[in-house]
Structure 1
């Protein structure tokens, strides 16, 4: 598969993932509220705003004129929510009566830089590591 086709496929997958996650933040906020670190102001507003940001980013990825800005926005978003992922892992947050093991948290935390890169590359904001040599 060419890098161009791979970028298109990965952009669609990312848009679908962020669109679904945004919907989930708005439709079923309780799991997301549970992982917000203590001391964060107005957790309900934070969860709603992050859901809207995910939906906006997903839509932005599909519009050529806004694609790169959406990629930068989703990359920044993924960086900003990383503390909630750490809190979820380190505080053994109970969601739905269960805690997730390090079999989930370890790969999830390690994948965050990949998710950040994915948003940037799929949007065309960066070429690395597939830059064509002149």
Structure 2
């Protein structure tokens, strides 16, 4: 079995790919993200641009040791804060006339993954070890 450090490294790579790609999409193709932003969010287009920049900064920060824990904590917090948009997106898709089962399947998988993404962000940077056992000195 791989050591916890290997799992953390793999997790950082995965999160870099996830948040880096999402950040680039938020900046380069903002319309889908603006459309799922709840109405109470002011100036949605600017918020989407800012969130894209934050995702990219957080993804890069995962590989800068002095900033790693801050980046992981910020990405975890970000995943919590965007959850209302994820819920709005699901409700919009699930209350629209059914064209295919794909929106339903996407949201059934996507929404429960959000807590995992939150956990993965704090695990990847060493804030938590649960449920793995950290066998390093002081771990």
Normalised to the residue count of structure 2, the TM-score between the two structures is 0.87
RMSD between aligned alpha carbons? Answer: 2.1
Q: Distance in 2 between matches of 1:4 and 1:132?
A: 9
The residue correspondences of 1:1-134 to structure 2 (distance < 5 A) are 1-92=2-93, 100-132=102-134
1:82-118, CA deviations, whole angstroms, 9 ceiling, x for partnerless residues?
0000000012288xxx995221001111010000000
Q: Distance in 2 between matches of 1:45 and 1:54?
A: 14
User: Are 2:58 and 2:74, in contact at CA under 8 Å, matched by a contact in 1?
Assistant: yes
Please list every run of 5 or more consecutive structure 1 residues that lacks an aligned counterpart in the other structure.
none
Q: Distance in 1 between matches of 2:31 and 2:101?
A: 14
Alignment size in residue pairs: 132
Larger Rg: 2
